[in-house]
Structure 1
Amino acid sequence: MGITSMRDSRSPREWLASLPDSRLCSRLLRYTTVAFIISIALSGIFLFRRPEGFLRDTRSRYFDYFWNQTANHPIDRLISDAHTYHEDLLKQRSFDLPTAAARYRDSRGRHPPPGFDAWFKYAKDHDAIIVESFFDRIYADTAPFWGLDPQTTAARASSWEHVVRVRNGVANGTGNTENKVPWLQLWTELVAEAAPWLPDVDMPINYMDESRLIVPWEDVTGLITKERASRAFKPIEEVVTEYSGLAKVDAVSDSAETYKPAWLGGNYWDLTRVACAPDSPSRNVTPIANIEELPVFPQDWNPDFSYEGYIRNFTAATDPCLQPHLRGMHGSFVEPLTMSTSKELIPLFGGCKLPMNNEILIPGAMYLTADPFYSGGDSHGPAWSQKTDGIVWRGVASGGRNKRENWAHFQRHRLVEMLNGTTVAQMEKNNARTMTFEMPPLEKYDFPRRREGTIGAWLRKFSDAGFVNLLCFPADNCSYVEPYLSKVGSIPMKDQYKYKFMPDVDGNSFSARFRGFLLSTSLPIKATVYSEWHDDRIVPWLHFAPMDNTFQDLYAILDYFTRDGKGDKSARFIAEEGRAWGAKVLRREDMLLYVWRLLLEFARICDEKRDMLGYIDDLKEVKTA
């Protein structure tokens, strides 16, 4: 018998009126007491133990009270807005194939690719959450290739030096990986799981940390215009439901040489800004003339993507085209460790890219490894109440080639200095800046610790951050950085999860630990200029705390989460919601589904009959009915 059927159908007033007078008071007292206890218990369970269930009700009075009616900080509003956005997103979830296909057509202006039905069946059989916008990145990345000749794209994909190749339902990795990290193997193993349902297709791999393709904005815009013009719903009787295959490509593959576009050198910022829109703030800003000068922080920094000093639009906050000051505050633009960049659009798949890069994104190979260095292993940390009330960071001084003249401009050096209590206390005492940063402006971030000059003293107890390797250049001479930073002992990831707060910033490219952080019981605080496959399925201020790439908001974010009980509950709430949601949409199955769908689309792009290809079985059934 269900719970609903066991309830008394009378109203509380009718129920009370039916009781004998002698029993009324005692029954009323017990009824009220039990109701109060249940209410408190449920509030605790919903808020702290199962936040994902708690969030299903957008009219939750407790949520509205806790983060809206008692709001005394901008982050309260941001958490509330994130919750509302996520709820609206989940209303677009597809539970059956016809709905998923219809939403595909509404969003993409084409029929789904052949094989869409097998893809959806796997998703349903594996309890995947299917929201069409979760796959927007696929269509943003592949759109320009619709403006190129399909056979040229197929030939260049096939002849690349490292390729995951699918033929006759079997995936193989090709290319020399001697003395290289095992990324090709990991990606091949993932694709192999979907290979029985995939057409013949090639996935050429970028084996470098850094992104390699930066096509000028005007060229990309022209190609995207061609893609939009090609969108159409072909009549059912004209639709082709089988891929043509790659027989023509394979016939010449043994003799074909790897296509090598013109690889460019020079200043990376100059290459980057050409890919920005002509009216963007960074387009006409030249590189820093003297990199030996200390980094200059933007004055009166109040971008449209922030709300009262805190990130509101994380996508915009990662975009260097909107932030010309990043040319002197991020190692990717100061001096990349390696650079092999082309302005030509060629098919190349990789784990991350700058927003203006033209690689096609796939889940980072590091997310596919069981290496505890990235994931923390089976341990994801103790319950929130058992955690150390502090922030921890360990890593190497990567981000590019840091040298005597430029090291102060690197993001990881800035983070470590900002979390060094002794350094910050000295700054507060002398009212001065340090090598990598300035204290955040009081008029923008006015809170007691900042006002009283006690952030440094607090960080001495609260923070444990440092480099395990300074990665100096030349390697045997760290004299330029040793007066300010020193090497510290490593802390295994599983032990880092014992802390409440975990900042996450870029290295040479994206941070491969972010997925591990999200799946932990700690709260990630994230800043990046890199895009990843999962960006459309995780929500800032609901699954992690976003941070500006200047890190000027770092102290204020930490102050909000630590100033009182409400802040601590908010931090715990985001940490637990991020972990619960990540366990649903960042699984290996979800990464497989993303790559599977991407390869269906890329195979269509490489097909001579691409404008006719499509999945239409759902439409045939409707027509027959």
Structure 2
Amino acid sequence: MFMFSAGAALFCSALAQYLTTRDVELASEILCWVILPALIKLKNRYGSTGTTSNTLLVKTPSAVVSTRAWLFALGLAAACWYRAEEHIVILFPALTPLLLLSGVVPAASLTTDSKLFWPPVTAPWSSGLIAVFSCLVLVSSSGTRLPSLAVCVVVVALLYGGYLSISRPAAVVDRDAGDHGGQERPDDAAEGAQVEDVAMPLAFRILPLLTVVACARMLTSKELKVALVKTVVAGFAKALNWFFTLKTIRQSSWCSASTIGTFAITSARTPSLGDRSFYLHAAFNLVTSLLALGQTIHMIPKGAGPRSRLWALGVLPLKPLLENMYRINASTMLGPRDEYPVEVLARTAEAKFDAMLARQSRTYSAAVLEYRRRYNMEPPPGFEAWYSYAVARASPIIDEFDIIHEAIAPFWKMSGKKVQEVMGEASGAAGADLWWCMFKGQTGETSCNHPHRGGTHIQETFGRWLGGLAGKIPDVEFLVNHLDEPRVLLPGPETANDQRIRLTNISRRPIWDTLTRSCSRKVTSASSGIQGASVDINTHGLPFVTDTGADKDLCQHPEYRDMHGMAMSPCSFILVDGRVPVLTTGTLTTGGDVLFPSPVYGEYGDEGFVYNDTRDVEWAQKRNNLYWAGSSTGAYAGDDGWKRYHRHRFVALAQGLETGREHWYLRRGRDGLFHQVASSSLNRDLFDVAFTAIIQCRHDLCESQREYFDVRPRADKDAALGSKLVFDIDGNGISGRFVKLLTSHSAVLKQTLLREWHDERLAAWVHYLPVSQGLGELPELVSWLTGTEEGRRRARLVAERGREWAMRAMRHEDRGLYVYRLMLELARIQDPERQAT
């Protein structure tokens, strides 16, 4: 019977560890200590002897029992809290030698040596070596950092104190003190036999402590999730674990609790499949679990039964390893019966893009008719010259400029004179940080000035775009945003007639409510035309982006409040509140900025943002991984919320820093359809991602980030071109690298919340691969693009089509053509003779 208890304790401990995740750790532990006393009562009532024993309660003064029970409860509560934070107590194996050194003797040491295992495994010195090895294995495979390690030391110290106190009956110590010259004598197994009888007192102390811990986590915004079925199953497994462990301890030692716990930790986990030393770590994990199993077996008294049978439990450490390997491999086993979601998305997007190209106007008359159809008005003066200019430069796009019309539309409600007035009011306001520019239609010259900034890059950029257009564009004035972030929010329906202009500095604070205040009105997205795929496409539960316009729409995604740095703590955000035509390189769906091409895409941009064909690598020579390196821009870190910023979430995922996080993959089921499966594994070999500079943060928070992330030295500006997959992500505003990456021989994966001038002419899944704000599909997407023949073929096709289209439709001439048409529209709305409509 005792052998059954030992085997059941080992099995249930591993099962409990396997079932319990951080989100149900506290709830399942609370349930465990509700169930455990009931189990013990049932056992004592219906057990083979039919009697219960209260020897320990009789021997030990109630005050001593109370003190020891509280110490034990405190240790367990601390361990439970740490597991809820970090999933496992990585220094737990150290308890075995500590207990041995404290005189808690395993029962087997009082008998003849076992032939089943090397006897010194339970000697203090050898147990110490095993503990060091086991802790190193757990620390290295978990990627634990120094602050967490320091906290873990405290947790293990509390556990040690609790285990030690409960393993020493005070009455026995008092009785034997005289026989040993006033020195305490170590307990043997028999003298700890009544430890089950204090299960109820322990539960009464552990439960309130765990409740306090759960409440504290909720008060610190760490919600205690209650997945009912998962919590109940994990709670029962934990209760059974403690029940059988206590029965095992009765005839062995409290050291058995630590070796059983170590076996559970190491047998229920496997290192990440992406680790370059994966097989070495997996082997170390297996050795560690077998050593813990051997220690447990050696602590069982010889007369208890055939201990060799317990070695069958050595197969348990293989389960998570084989399961994770199967899940990852199964996710790449594609067949003809169910088409992979990306293939369906790409084919749909290709059809829409090809249709868009085919319907472009081929004559001036057709362009005028299309303009009237779209906007219900006549084209602006100079439109015929613009059309001839576009044809002369072989522009493949003639009609897709809805994004300009959408930005200009609110100003039709104002007269031309009023538009000029609000522009002057906004540019003259203190701290506006706007460039005032003028294009002279007669001479074709552009001039720009700023109240306190020097430099000529804005003037030179517009001068290159508009050079040679003298006599083709009327005189026009325009404001250009100097900051990275967008600037303008239009009045909501309740203030539709309010024409006042207000400037407010809302930097370095949460601004979601401000950004979304207009969500009561319908927000459209001009970019959804060719980029939006059918919402009926089955993505099998993974958040593949089916419509980039809808994906960016703040009004449809309240969860973005805590997912993007611009909403949480923008580094600089000088809000222009009102109708003012301000030119900005990127804006939000709720913004009122007028979009123009970023200067960094052209000759006046930093050399790191300009594509150099001589630095690129042919597809076959590129590394089969995803690359990104950059600084921690995107927000200002003034509090502990920086882990939720968009760049920080991406780097943490790619570096495998989110301990215990489940990643979702697709595999084909027996029904021939894809199904999502969860796995703790992330192939980190497929992600070459790192911060190269930690900036825009309070000093102490900068240090915290450097400790948390694997920060690398600054990389070569063209290092990304060595990988087949390259990532592009928002910074404080738009990413200036996008056009460079798009023009390269690599496939671009892009995550953005910002709209840009080129959104209408780019097709997601055709020219680049969109990534959701939550990143939930990214591990599967990268795995498929790199690990399957179909995925690699799609990645190369996206790289080729993106490069070909960028060199055809996103040239300097195309940016100039866009700005030319924009100037015609701006000149019309600010015409002093025009009346409001």
Question: Normalised by the size of structure 2, how large is the TM-score?
Answer: 0.53
- For 1:543, the aligned partner's letter is H
Matched, 1:261 2:496: no
Counterpart check, 1:499 vs 2:723 = yes
Distance change in 2, residues 1:164/1:219 (3 Å): farther
2:410 maps to 144
- Structure 1 residue 68: deviation in Å? 12
Relative distance call for 1:75 and 1:147 in structure 2 (3 A) is same
Secondary structure of 1:277's match?
coil
**Counterpart mapping for 1:519-598 below 5 A:** 519-598=743-822
- Distance change in 2, residues 1:340/1:371 (3 Å): closer
Contact 1:497–1:520 under 8 Å retained in 2: yes
Q: Which residue of 1 aligns with 2:347?
A: 80
| Equivalent pair of 1:164/1:187 in contact (CA under 8 Å) | no
**Matching residue of 1:358:** 592
State the Cα distance separating 1:217 from its structure 2 match.
3.4
Distance in 2 between residues matched to 1:279 and 1:203, nearest whole Å: 27
Q: CA deviation at 1:484?
A: 1.4
Deviations 1:376-433 (A, max 9, x none): 4344622211211111111110111023412111111111111115x36xx3xxxx24
SS of aligned partner of 1:356: coil
Paired residue for 2:477?
202
Please give the per-residue CA displacement for 1:502-558, whole angstroms capped at 9, x wherever unaligned.
111111111111111111111111111101000000000000001101111111111
1:311·1:546 contact (CA, 8 Å) conserved in 2? yes
Corresponding position of 1:398: 633
Asked if structure 2 preserves the Cα contact closer than 8 Å seen for 1:440 and 1:552, the reply is: yes
1:173 aligns with 2:448: yes
1:189 is matched with 464
Amino acid at match of 1:263: T
Residue in 1 that maps onto 2:519: 276
Q: Whose helix proportion is higher, 1 or 2?
A: 2
The one of 482, 492, 512 equivalent to 2:706 is 482
Q: Does residue 338 of the first structure (1) align with residue 572 of the second (2)?
A: yes
In 1, the alpha carbon distance for the partners of 2:770 and 2:698 equals: 34
| Aligned-partner Cα distance in 2 for 1:582–1:148 | 37
2:654 is matched with which residue: 419, 427, 440?
419
Distance 1:263 1:449, change over 3 A: closer
| 2:415/2:835 contact within 8 Å kept | no
SS at match of 2:735: coil
CA distance in structure 1 between the partners assigned to 2:491 and 2:667 by the alignment: 36
Q: Which residue pairs with 2:183 in the alignment?
A: none
Q: Judge which range, 175-184 or 473-482, deviates more.
A: 175-184
Instruction: Give yes or no for contact 2:628–2:689 (8 Å, CA) kept in 1.
Output: yes
Q: Residues 422 and 580 of structure 2 are in contact (CA less than 8 Å); yes or no, is this contact kept in structure 1?
A: yes
- How far apart are the structure 1 equivalents of 2:615 and 2:478? 33
CA contact 1:95–1:130 (8 Å) conserved in 2: no
Q: Which residue of 2 aligns with 1:329?
A: 563
User: Secondary structure of the equivalent of 1:72?
Assistant: coil
Aligned twin of 1:100: 367
Task: Give 1:294-313 correspondences, 5 Å limit.
Answer: 307-308=539-540, 309=542, 310-313=544-547
SS at match of 2:704: coil
**Contact 2:501/2:579 (CA < 8 Å) preserved in 1?**
no
Structure 2 distance, partners of 1:565, 1:340, is 49
2:531 alignment counterpart: none
**Equivalent-residue separation in structure 2 for 1:574 and 1:213 (angstroms):** 34
Secondary structure class of the residue paired with 2:708:
coil
Residue 358 (structure 2) aligns with = 91
Identity %: 25
Distance change in 2, residues 1:532/1:519 (3 Å): same
Alpha-carbon RMSD across the aligned residues, in angstroms, is 3.2
- Does the aligned pair in 1 maintain the 2:632–2:694 contact within 8 Å? yes
2:688 corresponding residue in structure 1 = 464
Q: 1:150-176: CA deviations, max 9, x gaps?
A: 101123335735122012232212224
User: In the alignment, which residue of structure 1 is the partner of 2:200?
Assistant: none
Distance (Å, rounded) in 2 between the aligned partners of 1:125 and 1:319: 36
Residues 103/419 of structure 1: CA separation in 2 closer, same or farther (3 Å cut): same
Is the 2:488–2:578 contact (alpha carbons within 8 Å) kept by the matching residues of 1?
Answer: yes
Letter in 2 for 1:150: G
- Structure 2 CA distance, aligned partners of 1:503 and 1:409? 18
What does the per-residue CA deviation read over 1:455-508, in whole Å, with 9 as the maximum and x for residues that have no partner? 2xx31x222111111115224763322331142122223231110111111111
Alignment check: 8 A CA contact 2:664 2:779 kept: no
Deviates more, 1:159-168 or 1:84-93: 159-168
Farther off after superposition, 79-88 or 604-613: 604-613
Show the counterpart of 1:162.
435
Closer, same or farther: CA 82–200 of 1 in aligned 2, 3 Å: same
Q: Who is 2:645 aligned against?
A: 410
Shift in alpha-carbon separation, 1:472–1:112, aligned structure 2, 3 A: closer
Stretches of structure 1 that go unaligned for 5 or more consecutive residues are 1-66, 224-258, 281-302, 434-438, 614-625
Q: Answer whether contact 2:639 2:701 (CA < 8 A) is retained.
A: no
Task: Look up the match of 2:176.
Answer: none
Q: Which consecutive residues of structure 2, in runs of 5 or more, have no partner in the other structure? A: 1-333, 428-433, 524-534
Tell me the TM-score normalised to structure 1 length.
0.70
Partner SS, residue 630 of structure 2: strand
Counterpart secondary structure, 2:401: helix
Secondary structure (helix, strand or coil) at the match of 1:197 reads: coil
Other-structure match for 1:617: none
Residues 92 and 131, structure 1, Cα contact 8 Å, conserved in 2: no
Q: Distance in 2 between matches of 1:319 and 1:487?
A: 32
- Distance of aligned partners of 1:346 and 1:278 in 2 relative to their CA distance in 1, 3 Å threshold: closer
C-alpha displacement at 1:100, in angstroms? 1.3
**AA partner of residue 513 (structure 2):** D
Residue 452 of structure 1: CA displacement? 5.5
Distance, in Å, in 2 between the alignment partners of 1:207 and 1:306 is 42
SS at match of 1:162: strand
Between the aligned partners of 2:538 and 2:491, the Cα distance in structure 1 is 28
Q: How far apart are the structure 2 equivalents of 1:267 and 1:488?
A: 30
Hey, what's the Cα distance between the residues in 2 that align with 1:210 and 1:393? 22
CA distance in 2, matches of 1:268, 1:513: 26
CA contact (8 A) 2:396 2:809 kept: yes
Q: Specify the structure having the higher radius of gyration (Cα).
A: 2
Letter in 1 for 2:561: R
Pair 1:219–1:206, CA change in 2 (3 A) = farther
